[in-house]
């Protein structure tokens, strides 16, 4: 059944870090939520989360390569193979240096608030729509 959305802030607030080594993500909503809560995140440095994860605001886990998906809806595609040794090392570093984790978590929150707030995203979309409209006007003026 899962955890109700309204309980997620409490869950995030009850942990010291967010860890999600995955083979691939779209945007990575849980990553963004955890970062917005000021948590250091440990996540695979692949796919959607690479748009907002940095060495300053997260702990990107390198990949050991790409592996083919053998069955299911994504058969024929490639998945990331997160480095288990790097993941282990990063998790140990947060345990041994929690202040560094808090520092990255604070940076993560700052980045989410400053770069990914609703107003921020609206400005990005508005700018893109204006650019598309300009290109359409130019294309129709040429014909």
Give 117-130 pLDDT, tens digit per residue: 889 889 999 999 99
Burial of 30 (0-12, 13-18, 19+ CB in 10 A): middle
Give 67-98 pLDDT, tens digit per residue: 999 999 999 999 999 999 999 999 999 999 99
φ and ψ at 54, to 5 degrees? -130, 175
d(CA 50, CA 52): 5
Q: Among 35, 23, 26, which residue's Cα sits nearest to residue 84? A: 23
User: 1 pLDDT band (50/70/90 cuts)?
Assistant: confident
Q: pLDDT at residue 143 above 80?
A: no
Specify the pLDDT at position 55.
97
% the chain with pLDDT above 90: 90
Q: Quick one: which H or E segment has residue 26?
A: none
């Amino acid at each position: 059944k899962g955890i109700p959305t309204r309980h997620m802030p409490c869950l995030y607030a009850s942990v010291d870090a967010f860890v999600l080594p995955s083979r691939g993500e779209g945007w990575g909503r849980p990553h963004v939520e955890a970062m917005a809560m000021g948590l250091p995140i440990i996540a695979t440095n692949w796919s959607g989360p690479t748009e907002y994860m940095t060495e300053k605001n997260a702990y990107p886990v390198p990949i050991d390569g790409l592996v083919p998906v053998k069955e299911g809806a994504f058969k024929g595609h490639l998945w990331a193979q997160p480095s288990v040794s790097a993941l282990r090392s990063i998790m140990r570093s947060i345990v041994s240096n929690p202040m560094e984790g808090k520092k990255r978590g604070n940076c993560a929150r700052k980045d989410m608030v400053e770069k990914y707030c609703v107003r921020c995203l609206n400005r990005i979309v508005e700018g893109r729509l204006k650019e598309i409209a300009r290109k359409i006007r130019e294309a129709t003026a040429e014909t």
